[in-house]
Amino acid sequence: MDSESARAGYHHGDLRASLVLAALEMLEAGESFSLRAIARRAGVSTAAPYRHFADRDALESALAVHGLHELMDAITGDGRAPECAADVAEIAVGYVRFALRRPALFRLMFGRECDEQDDDRVRAAGALHEYLESVMAGVFPHADPVALATAGWSLAHGLAFLHLDGKLPNADPSAVDDRVRATFAAITPSPSPDPESRAS
């Protein structure tokens, strides 16, 4: 988002969103940012950001919330409920794709402990956990959905950072996708058969 677009957003009354997007642009460009810097980028007064953010930590938390919402959009896809283990693997594929597409934002999102007093960030992180648990409960009804959600998230998160840090090759997106799918297939439990079908 360029300065002209940011200014347009401000004049339409959405200063906070304009500042977050200006900070996101600077973050992804590898530029050092501060409240004063994003004010200049957005074309507003240096005092304007303080109407919405007490300090840089508050701004970074807002960026994390923005990223968590983007991540949810990336992994929920078309909104169809996952029905099998292969669908669960596609959630991991979306997770790793997001990390590779938004590396600086991804690192910021998970670079420090979540502030339990930051309601927006807590809610956004909670929504991610709840979604993963609901998926596991639906696909693996006879397993512990909380433990499976933690295991699945840990695997996807680890794969994301292994690819981000170059410990696994990341130049070929399709190869990355295939590696994530294969890894999940290797450790995903087979859904327990329905008791009635077993009896028959």
What are the structural domain ranges in the chain?
3-51, 56-190
d(Cα 42, Cα 104) in Å, to the nearest integer? Answer: 20
Q: Does the 56-190 domain belong in CATH 3.40.50.1260?
A: no
Q: What is the pLDDT of residue 24?
A: 94
pTM to 2 decimal places: 0.84
Q: What is the pLDDT of residue 196?
A: 53
CB 19 within 8 A of CB 39: yes
Q: For residue 163, give the nearest of 110, 101, 112 by alpha carbon.
A: 101
Q: What is the pLDDT of residue 133?
A: 97
Helix count and strand count (H, E) for the chain: 10, 0
Provide DSSP, 156-193.
HHHHHHHHHTTSS--S-HHHHHHHHHHHHHHHPPPPPP
Blockwise average pLDDT, block size 10, the chain, 200 residues: 43 78 93 90 90 90 94 90 94 98 94 70 90 95 94 96 97 98 85 50
